[in-house]
Structure 1
């Protein structure tokens, strides 16, 4: 088998995919930054609605029944609905938590999602983790405890919302993997925005307040645009490179979150957040390493 260095097309594709992944991570960081600012000026549910409505409008311009006939056709409508509601729940919980927590704190807790996915993939998908992976999962959850320090007065109780959001997002990730065998990613992406908007539409009058200037309106548009564009970049990235190549670059989001948290809100996380984040990220990277080792057949060449 030819080595990686002799496969220029693969190399260029992977570099482009990594760039797209980093762009997606930046979009999600800007999304959370805008959401945190807006949550201080309006009900977080209004911010969630702006995120979904704006994303739905943007996605509809690119993906619609006229440009992509049959895009709304799904083989698993109930699974699409459950997946979309899980994403909505995770987003809402995260936005409520962002009102009280620092950007770096919320993203550090959310980094535990791959650990929970690996843990529950056994009973749900039949992908049972081995002893090494179980140890890595356990160490990762210790990292989450270091960040949140429950019972020690180290973090706002809103961290619990973030942790519940991790559970929602983990099951959302698993349902996405299940749907990949039945529906194209474009169909799944359309349903995500539509379902979230439709679910929130009936209760808008209960929490809606009119923004008091152009900046809130602009940031409401940014939340929708960054959400939709970020997920579009993710789709493009995964078409060019496997998930095991791209996943480590998700953790670069901590750099953006710390930077934006300081520049926009004047906040810097404490040392416990950095220590806990390092533990969680290290555990996640080890799980990815074990996934790559399992994916390479014995005796075959490695493309590192």
Structure 2
């Protein structure tokens, strides 16, 4: 569903050509995994409610982690329970809103709106992390919101609640991302992943109770397994990609998701992107790529918080 905003990775020494190629390979794998997960969510949503999809994904992932616990428990540590719980809750609610969006509106439209996360992340960094954001990045933020407004067209078109859910999901994900560096630095990325899965499961159980049901076909269970597997593979691929390659180099590759998901939406569900969504998508993509570029420039200049 969501992705790490471009430029969000921890700083690394200069990469070699081979490292950048390796990072690009991992990012292509991440794009393919994330696209498959999004399409899988839409397919499973034809059988069960999106709240059940989130619950099953978190539950199945938790079971896998419990099986692996004897091998991995030494890597688990919690420095601040509050940070883990708050971050996990943000990710959980963001996931519920995101899966609801994927189930209700065209896949390409949902994906475009998810790409507003870097725009929200820029605003949050300026307001709460004392990051210096120049006028050009603010202009890019404004362009991104204009793009979102063109897609939503409030007052001119019936506004589907799932569109607003997509923006809310992106905002919550951006807030969670702002906490991720602190949590992962203190306790490691594995602990951050485990806590987010467990908190999401605890949060999801009461939400899913009114619509409790399971996939009723072999295809449904197969696609559900695909959603779990691709979600995990995407997380691993993202970590590896940003480990090897520069965030600015990876940013354009992430937008291949729009192409893959747009094609899948057309082939599987007959979804066609209208001209307003195309124009809005162009503004959002260009603005977020420019934000990534300016963040990279600021990072190389050594400005605090860049």
Shared fold (TM-score, shorter chain, > 0.5):
yes
TM-score norm. by structure 1 comes to: 0.88
Matched, 1:190 2:194: yes
Q: CA deviation at 1:243?
A: 2.6
Q: CA deviation at 1:19?
A: 1.2
Matched, 1:268 2:272: yes
The list of structure 1 runs, each at least 4 consecutive aligned residues, that deviate by more than 6 angstroms after superposition, is none
1:161 to 165, 177, 183: 165
TM-score norm. by structure 2 comes to: 0.88
Deviation digits for residues 222-246 of structure 1, max 9, x if unmatched?
A: 1111111111111122221233332
Q: CA deviation at 1:211?
A: 2.3
Deviation digits for residues 170-210 of structure 1, max 9, x if unmatched?
A: 11111112323312112111222222123223555432223
Q: Secondary structure at the match of 1:151?
A: coil
Q: 5 Å matches for 1:53-132?
A: 53-58=59-64, 64-132=68-136
Aligned counterparts of 2:33 and 2:196: Cα–Cα separation in 1 = 17
2:16 to 10, 21, 34: 10
Q: Secondary structure at the match of 2:204?
A: helix
Count of aligned residue pairs for this structure pair: 289
Aligned counterparts of 1:51 and 1:251: Cα–Cα separation in 2 = 25
Q: CA deviation at 1:114?
A: 0.3
Tell me if the contact between 1:38 and 1:219 (Cα under 8 Å) persists in the aligned partners.
yes
Matched, 1:35 2:47: no
Aligned counterparts of 2:71 and 2:261: Cα–Cα separation in 1 = 36
Aligned counterparts of 2:15 and 2:299: Cα–Cα separation in 1 = 22
Aligned counterparts of 1:82 and 1:283: Cα–Cα separation in 2 = 29
Aligned counterparts of 2:286 and 2:152: Cα–Cα separation in 1 = 17
Match of 1:136 in 2: 140
Cα distance change, pair 234–221 in 1 and its aligned pair in 2 (3 A): same
Tell me if the contact between 2:147 and 2:280 (Cα under 8 Å) persists in the aligned partners.
yes
Aligned counterparts of 2:240 and 2:196: Cα–Cα separation in 1 = 17
Tell me if the contact between 1:106 and 1:162 (Cα under 8 Å) persists in the aligned partners.
yes
Match of 1:181 in 2: 185
Q: Secondary structure at the match of 1:80?
A: helix
Aligned counterparts of 1:125 and 1:119: Cα–Cα separation in 2 = 10
Cα distance change, pair 65–47 in 1 and its aligned pair in 2 (3 A): closer
Q: CA deviation at 1:86?
A: 0.9
Tell me if the contact between 1:14 and 1:240 (Cα under 8 Å) persists in the aligned partners.
yes
Cα distance change, pair 263–76 in 1 and its aligned pair in 2 (3 A): same
- Greater Rg, structure 1 or structure 2? 1
2:226 to 217, 222, 225: 222
1:208 to 209, 212, 225: 212
Match of 1:148 in 2: 152
Match of 1:4 in 2: none
Report the aligned-residue RMSD: 2.0
Gapped regions of structure 2 (runs ≥ 5): 1-13
Aligned counterparts of 1:166 and 1:81: Cα–Cα separation in 2 = 19
